[in-house]
Copies of this chain bind each other. A is one copy, B any other.
Amino acid sequence: MKVALDAMGGDFSPMEAVNGAVMALNEMSHLEIILVGDKTLIDEELKKHNYDKSRLSIEHTDETIEMHEKMSPAMAVRKKPKASMNIAIDCVTQGRAHAIVSAGNTGALMTSSQMKLRRIKGVLRPAITTIFPSKHGHLVMLDAGANADCKPEFLNQFALMSKVYANVLLDIKNPKIGLLNIGEEEGKGNEITKEAYTLMKENDRINFVGNMEPRDMMEGEVDIVVTDGFTGNIVLKTGEGVVKFVFDFLKQEIKSSFVLKIGALLLKPVFKRMKEKMDSSEYGGALFLGLNGISIKAHGNSDGKAFKNAIKVAEKFAEADLTAKLKKVIDKEA
């Protein structure tokens, strides 16, 4: 399988993208990578590494879409056709790669992926998936931000698509799917969740387990939580904010005394495992689910390991032909 990597996307590009690419090549003997970006800068980074050169190629471009691009995503995609992100996606549409990974501007990547890869026929809206830690492992949450305004039928279809996704990524046959809501009982929530509940309850192609409150979803009762893109993004960012707040608070407090510093030192391995557990980059970024092709968004602050994981997941989806599986499921629905 061949993965196109936008080497210029992310806060530490191209260094960390190149690091990740090399790590992935060294771990997977059948993997090929196309690095898209500024050849001079990429070569500079590549010089530092040992890897199988026959499985890596570079497509040069000196245009990039900035993380905080002033133009709207749609405008940036149109006005910068030679941007590394756009060319990386072109590699997939033109059949030169099986999947694309970028840590660049989310809005632009989403827009470009939709414009170039297009939705699978029958897909109402593509959704962004994300992985959340839970007591027994992880859960999938979607939509994590692609569609700020959703109709109930979008959520019902997200559920169906996410089932295929969980089959491939997490090897769960008939995942338990919950609807993110502010109460457990049927009839709770806003207009969208009330209607989505009815649709999902009647949908015999999914294993719908009912409403799921955010404080319960991490207890491990579900494999997938479905929500609209506004709420999903809010949950994601609230989680990040609370974790940061807790750890900043601990750090600040611990500074204040020698005894506390000793205690923190003893607990260091636990804090490290905690951080790993909360760190979604272990699971390789977010997929735009519902497109004719594998497009993966790695976190903007991805390090080499995060890029490597994103590449591995991209390869996994391509290898399993997720797109074909999705098409089959969506076709049946129609």
Q: Are B216 and A182 in contact, with the CB atoms below 8 A?
A: no
A246 to chain B, nearest CB (A): 6
Nearest-neighbor residue (CB-CB) of A68 within chain B: B185
Residues from 30 to 51 in A contacting B, C-beta threshold 8 Å: none
Nearest-neighbor residue (CB-CB) of A230 within chain B: B190
Chain A 246-288 interface mask (CB, 8 Å, partner B; 1/0) = 1011100110000110111111011001100110000000000
Q: Are B237 and A182 in contact, with the CB atoms below 8 A?
A: yes
A122 to chain B, nearest CB (A): 25
Neighbouring B residues of A193 by C-beta, 8 Å: 230
Q: In the bound complex, what is the Cα–Cα distance between A115 and B269 (angstroms)? A: 54
- The size of the chain A interface, using a CB distance under 8 A, is 53
Q: Is there a chain B Cβ closer than 8 Å to A133's Cβ?
A: yes
Task: Say which residue of B180, B191, B213, B238 sits within 8 Å of A215 (CB atoms).
Answer: B238
Q: In the bound complex, what is the Cα–Cα distance between A270 and B149 (angstroms)? A: 42
Q: Is there a chain B Cβ closer than 8 Å to A241's Cβ?
A: yes
User: This chain: how many copies in the complex?
Assistant: 2
Q: In the bound complex, what is the Cα–Cα distance between A256 and B243 (angstroms)? A: 23
Q: Is there a chain B Cβ closer than 8 Å to A217's Cβ?
A: yes
Neighbouring B residues of A264 by C-beta, 8 Å: 263, 267
A88 to chain B, nearest CB (A): 24
A25 to chain B, nearest CB (A): 34
Neighbouring B residues of A253 by C-beta, 8 Å: 270, 273-274
Q: Are B266 and A238 in contact, with the CB atoms below 8 A?
A: no
Neighbouring B residues of A112 by C-beta, 8 Å: none
A185 to chain B, nearest CB (A): 9
Q: Are A274 and B248 in contact, with the CB atoms below 8 A?
A: no
* Seed contacts A145-B182, A231-B231, A267-B267; 11 additional CB < 8 Å A-B pairs: A135-B245, A148-B182, A148-B190, A214-B238, A214-B240, A215-B238, A242-B243, A249-B274, A250-B270, A260-B269, A263-B266
